[in-house]
Amino acid sequence: APYAVAMRTALILAALLAAACTPRPDAPDAPEFADRVFLGGTIHTGAPDAAMVEAVAVLDGRIAAAGARTGIDPLIGPHTEIIDLQGAAMFPGFVDAHAHLIGIGLREMTLNLEGVGSIAELADIVASAAQETPEGETIYGRGWIETGWPEARFPNRADLDEAAPLHPVILERADGHAVVASTLALQKSNVTAKTP
C-alpha cells in the first residue's frame, strides 16, 4: 500500500509537469470550464505571494487558475474531472537533475533504512517489520548503504531469508543503484539463475 501511494503521488507530479509544459492558445473572452480540477490536499504553488492554495484548475493541458475554492468552483463544469488529492501534497513540478526525489519519497513512505550501520542491524529492522506485516505481504525498504559496515559487503538474500522467511523482501540501496531481494521475492517474481 505505501508503494501504491508513492506511485500515485509520482503520477500526479508527472501529470502536473506535463500540464505545465503543454502550449495553450489564447483564452477566449467567454469563460470556459476546466478540464480538470485538483483539490483536497496541500497545494504548493512556489509563488511567494500565494505559497499554498486550495485548488488548481487545468484547461487545455495548462494551469488556468490556482487559488481559493470560491475562485475555482465556477470553473467546474459538467465534464470537469475532479481529482481529490485525499490530503496528499501537490507541487508545481520538479526537475530532478540527480536528486533521487522519488527514491527519497519511497524511503520515507516505506521501511526507511537510512543510517543502518550493519547487516545485523538491517536484519533486525526487517525482522521487526515482518512481525508487523501480514504473512506473505511484501516488505519494501530503501536507504541502506554498506559503506563503513563491519561486514564490508552488501546484504544478500540469505540475510533477508533469515530475517523474514515468510515475506517477500525487497530492499533498495540509498542511491537506487542496487537492490537485494529475498528468495521468496525472487520466486514470486519468477526470477531464477537463468533469467536474463
Number of domains in the chain: 2
pLDDT at site 43: 93
Residue 32, domain extent:
2-90
Could you tell me which of 89, 24, 88, 102 has the C-alpha nearest to residue 58?
24
The model's pLDDT over 119-134, given as tens digits with 9 standing for 90+, comes to 999 999 999 999 999 9
Q: What is the pLDDT of residue 21?
A: 59
pLDDT for 5:
63
CB 10 within 8 A of CB 101: no
Whole-number pLDDT of residue 146: 96
Residues 26 and 83 in one domain: yes
Question: Residues near 165 by Cβ (< 8 Å), separated by ≥ 6?
Answer: 184
- Is 86 within the bounds of a domain? yes
Which of residues 71, 90, 109 is at a domain's end? 90
In this structure, what CATH number is given to the domain that contains residue 145?
A: 3.10.310.70
Report yes or no on 95 lying in a domain: no
Q: Is residue 196 part of a domain?
A: no
Yes or no: say if 92 and 46 are a contact pair by the CB < 8 Å rule.
yes
Q: How far apart are CA 45 and CA 104, in angstroms?
A: 21
Residues 16 and 80 in one domain: yes
Where a domain ends, among 90, 117, 144?
90
How far is 93 from 63, CA to CA, in rounded Å? 12
- Quick one: pLDDT at residue 114? 92
**83 and 163, same domain (yes or no):** no
148 and 180 housed in the same domain: yes
pTM of the model: 0.56
Say if strands 36-44 and 52-59 run parallel, antiparallel, or are unpaired.
antiparallel
Q: Which of 90, 110, 134 is the last residue of a domain?
A: 90
Comparing CA positions, the residue from 191, 119, 194 lying closest to residue 162 is 119
The pLDDT, as a whole number, for residue 36 is 96
Q: What is the mean pLDDT of each run of 10 residues along the chain (196 residues)?
A: 64 62 54 91 86 93 92 95 94 73 80 96 98 97 95 97 98 93 96 91
